[in-house]
Chains A and B, each alone.
Chain A
């Protein structure tokens, strides 16, 4: 119990919130890292998945990539990148590793979403004289949106988790509070850092949950 009260004291001490190693700065780093990597991953994965899904090709690749991604330890990739020339780019290794890990779930979910669109609907669109591009953007994409968004949600949560591990390899973000706590042998700081990271991950999950709940209503109104 004392550890929890100590952790609470650590969290509420204003001295721990300011400065380069402070909570505020680490929280901002974590947030920026997650958002930047999510945007880059989406820009890479979604167009590829949408085109592959539209053409109905490369399915084995899209699905297997996700399974392979699970077998490769994030931490190992981070350290490997750190020891290559990429390591001298500052946050480079972290961004590259995070993007590598966010791409597979995005790709798989978007591809599956595109393939699960009712074929009759797609044929009807073709029959109405829609071009491939129109079918993709006006029919398949809106119908696949729920599964695509599920992929984005999985990727976002995974990014928050992986950004934490980046601290083990010297990257920024909330994980640094935990690793610094370990180096100082300060259990309260370790626990406080963990609480912050866990809360951040749960907030991200909750944001996506809320967006998902609101989305159908908005879609109906638009129609």
Chain B
């Protein structure tokens, strides 16, 4: 590490300060793309999973098919999923987002549904007794109580999405995965290691942030514990 900074690039070291300073913009762009793909996929996944889980909760017959379809989607390997969607979306960022959305669905639907099912029947009846309609019951009683389980699913889905975005490199939209892919072909060690470490950092930061959000949204769980 004591060598002159421009030397470590020439020696192709794993850890290289000169790489960080000279490719700052490339790394930044990759991180931004990585974040955009992850956030878009998780938000769309959430927007789809919520109504599906509520439907499956309301009508018992719907839960079987919803769970079966989402589980099958989850079984399909990510590279295959991206490839299967290729004729629909072409080589685009939407292809990666669509693939990731289908992945996060299983985790989100299962967890939200588990949370909704765990709401005690007495709680529901008490709310009905207070004159709550079905919509108000769902929004102010059931969903808040399902929040911890739903957030657990959201955290797993987000962390998985961060790591799966890298596979998007096959179609050129893989965020940091693009750098890993390019670094592999050119045998550029510093680039591969830096991009890989950044991926893990993003995943860990996202997980901690979501945990913080969960704490803020569910103050009563802390009160009960304390």
Q: Which A residues are closer than 8 A to B by beta carbons?
A: 3-4, 67, 70-77, 79-80, 82-83, 157, 160-162, 164-165, 167-169, 175, 178-179, 181-182, 187, 190-191, 193-195, 197-198, 201-202, 205
**Complex contact A80–B192 (CB within 8 A):** yes
B78 at interface, CB cutoff 8 A? yes
**Complex contact A72–B163 (CB within 8 A):** yes
- Show 28 residue pairs from A and B whose CB-CB distance is below 8 angstroms, ordered by the A residue: A67-B159, A71-B204, A72-B163, A72-B199, A72-B200, A73-B162, A73-B163, A73-B177, A73-B180, A76-B166, A76-B180, A76-B199, A79-B180, A79-B196, A161-B77, A165-B77, A168-B79, A169-B184, A187-B87, A190-B83, A191-B84, A191-B87, A194-B82, A198-B75, A201-B76, A201-B80, A202-B72, A205-B75
Contacting residues of chain B (74-110) with chain A, CB-CB under 8 angstroms:
75-84, 86-87
**Complex contact A191–B86 (CB within 8 A):** yes
Given the interface pairs A71-B162, A72-B200, A76-B195, the reply to whether A198 lies near B77 with Cβ below 8 Å is yes
Provide the bound-state CA to CA distance between A76 and B77, in Å.
16
**Complex contact A71–B84 (CB within 8 A):** no
For B75, give its contact among A4, A74, A157, A169 (CB under 8 Å): A157
Min C-beta distance of A192 to chain B, whole Å: 9
Tell me the number of A-to-B contacts counted with CB atoms below 8 Å: 126
Residues of B close to A164: CB separation below 8 A: 77-80
**Complex contact B156–A70 (CB within 8 A):** yes
B146 at interface, CB cutoff 8 A? no
Contacting residues of chain B (195-209) with chain A, CB-CB under 8 angstroms:
195-196, 199-200, 203-204, 207
Provide the bound-state CA to CA distance between A116 and B170, in Å.
42
**Complex contact B77–A197 (CB within 8 A):** yes
Which B-chain residue is minimally distant from A177 (CB atoms)?
Answer: B83
**Complex contact B159–A71 (CB within 8 A):** yes
For B184, give its contact among A82, A175, A202, A205 (CB under 8 Å): A82
B53 at interface, CB cutoff 8 A? no
Taking A72-B163, A79-B196, A193-B80 as given, write out 12 further A-B residue pairs in contact, using a Cβ cutoff of 8 Å, ordered by the A residue number: A70-B156, A73-B166, A73-B167, A73-B180, A79-B181, A80-B192, A80-B193, A165-B77, A168-B167, A175-B77, A182-B170, A198-B75
B183 at interface, CB cutoff 8 A? yes
Given the interface pairs A71-B203, A73-B163, A80-B196, the reply to whether A165 lies near B78 with Cβ below 8 Å is yes
**Complex contact A168–B181 (CB within 8 A):** yes
**Complex contact A75–B86 (CB within 8 A):** no
Residues of B close to A165: CB separation below 8 A: 77-79, 167
Which A-chain residue is minimally distant from B156 (CB atoms)?
Answer: A70
**Complex contact B81–A194 (CB within 8 A):** yes
For A194, give its contact among B83, B156, B177 (CB under 8 Å): B83
